[in-house]
Structure 1
């Protein structure tokens, strides 16, 4: 099980260890975004500091219906105690955890400031 918290803006936050497969991982605080279908988004500055390898370009649709092109990178994350290789979208927004990373997990949120966010594998 993984745990996080609800911040003062009523956003569900968890920390995830992210890095290049052959390098040390860095802890990143990320918002859970159920409208984001990808795995993880990170600002370019974090992607560069981690030395993540570029993978491909992808077209994404934003909440307002507009389409943008995302630069996609490969990263290794520790998720539920397991090392996973995932795609990371470069975005200048706050880091986001998307539904592809949450797939197969139950998310419980105590929707009050300081509330607990719990993510458990569905088995």
Structure 2
């Protein structure tokens, strides 16, 4: 059975590494306050030649609204190809949010404290 492993940083951030279908790897912070599946920096989207599929409006925790581009990203996850929606960020942080975990048994994910 395939598993994925992550780590907990000294700043207590849970990190998982995901691999895009074109072998680009991205370290993502697991952010349970983010309701989407993935948020990836624009640089990664452009480097991976992932097509942008549209835009959406999002409300930030501060209450401010932003408009961001969206992409469908193919990733290798738990030994299978999976397509997830990614919000494209102009920042440098990559996030995994609550939508990402839909249908995934938690017993398949382990974290090591570093």
TM-score (norm 2): 0.86
Q: Give the equivalent residue in structure 2 for 1:117.
A: none
Q: Distance in 2 between matches of 1:36 and 1:28?
A: 17
Specify every segment of 5 or more residues in structure 2 that has no aligned partner in the other structure, as ranges. Answer: none
Q: What's the CA shift for 1:37?
A: 0.9
| SS of residue matched to 1:71 | strand
Q: What RMSD over aligned residues (CA atoms) do the two structures have, in Å?
A: 1.9
Q: Report 1:31-46 matches (<5 A).
A: 31-46=29-44
Give the Å deviation of 1:104: 2.3
Asked if residue 104 in structure 1 is aligned to residue 106 in structure 2, the reply is no
Structure 1 residues without counterparts, runs of 5 or longer: 115-123
| TM-score, normalization by structure 1 | 0.80
- Report what 1:81 is aligned to: 79
CA contact (8 A) 2:5 2:110 kept: no
Tell me what 2:94 maps to: 95
Aligned with residue 57 of structure 1, among 49, 55, 58:
55
Displacement after TM superposition at 1:14 (Å): 0.6
**1:7 touches 1:13 (CA, 8 Å); kept in 2?**
yes
* C-alpha spacing 1:34/1:49, structure 2 compared with 1 (3 Å): same
